[in-house]
Amino acid sequence: MFRSVTAEAPRPENGNRDLAAAGIGLLASPTEAAQAAEKMLRRRYQWADTDKAETFVALGGDGFMLQTLHSMMEGGDPKPVFGMNRGTVGFLMNEWRLDRLPERIAGAKAIRVAPLDMEATTVSGEVHRHSAINEVSLLRETRQTAKIELSVNGRVVMPELVCDGVLVATPAGSTAYNYSARGPILPLASKVLALTPIAAFRPRRWSGAILPDDVAVRFRVLEAENRPVSAVADQFEVREVRTVDVRLDKERSMTLLFDPEHALDERIAMEQFAT
């Protein structure tokens, strides 16, 4: 996914605007808008090689930002990322601007986000492990509703939830799928997780729970062979799961950089007043 800057890269216009000296590299989504923005930025600034960069500018939308963060987690050495929106929603991104980028990065507000760790065991006994920055969700695979047992720290808190699905969301992801499922918006510094049902049939009036972020959540799929359920950690899907264990992995937290007037914590707080 990451592309190194080569010797043939266009030289910056308007003098030496050297982001390479600060260890800042450039990544871009393959979309037309992101690629066009990348060309302009490479003409304007000098960039560090990808394998030498200590900070990255990422061009794209929220999906590309999540993809970038997941790639860094898999590499074991996450770097701070300053995103600029060349996608659609861009909730995790800053405004796209060509000028004064070194000053913006130097004055950016650093926001730490920790991912969820998901361990999913399938009906056949295979174990899959993935991370999620936004949420881990369980979803029915067929026309039949899912039946799921919920446990928190080893204690069964709901013997049977009959539903289309259920999810655990981080504060950073609470305005995404969680909010669409009528889950709560969580302030970024709240140290809690949202446990939210998706189209619950029984108990019909259960709207979910807010949990401390140091708990372990287990989902056990009841009648897993006859009522198959998939587990999704951001964009990673595991089908026909029997159990799914979820916890927050604070040791793998990552840093997103934002313009102070456009920081993620403030944007999440203001989403509570959106109409």
Residues of each annotated binding site: 62-63, 134-135, 164, 172, 175-180, 199
Residues of each annotated binding site for NAD(+): 62-63, 134-135, 164, 172, 175-180, 199
**Residue-by-residue DSSP string for 166-206:** EEEE-TTTTTTHHHHTTPPP--TTS-EEEEEEES--BSTT-
**Bridging pattern class, strands 209-212 and 192-198:** antiparallel
Q: How far is CA 203 from CA 148, 179, 252, in A?
A: 12, 20, 35
Q: Do the beta carbons of residue 167 and residue 181 sit within 8 Å?
A: yes
Of the candidates 196, 188, 193, the one whose C-alpha atom is nearest the C-alpha of residue 248 is: 193
How far is Cα 188 from Cα 253, in angstroms, rounded to an integer?
Answer: 13
The catalytic residue among 18, 49, 51, 62 is: 62
Respond yes or no: is residue 99 known to be catalytic: no
Q: Do the beta carbons of residue 44 and residue 17 sit within 8 Å?
A: yes
Of the candidates 122, 67, 123, 58, the one whose C-alpha atom is nearest the C-alpha of residue 94 is: 58
Report the catalytic residues.
62
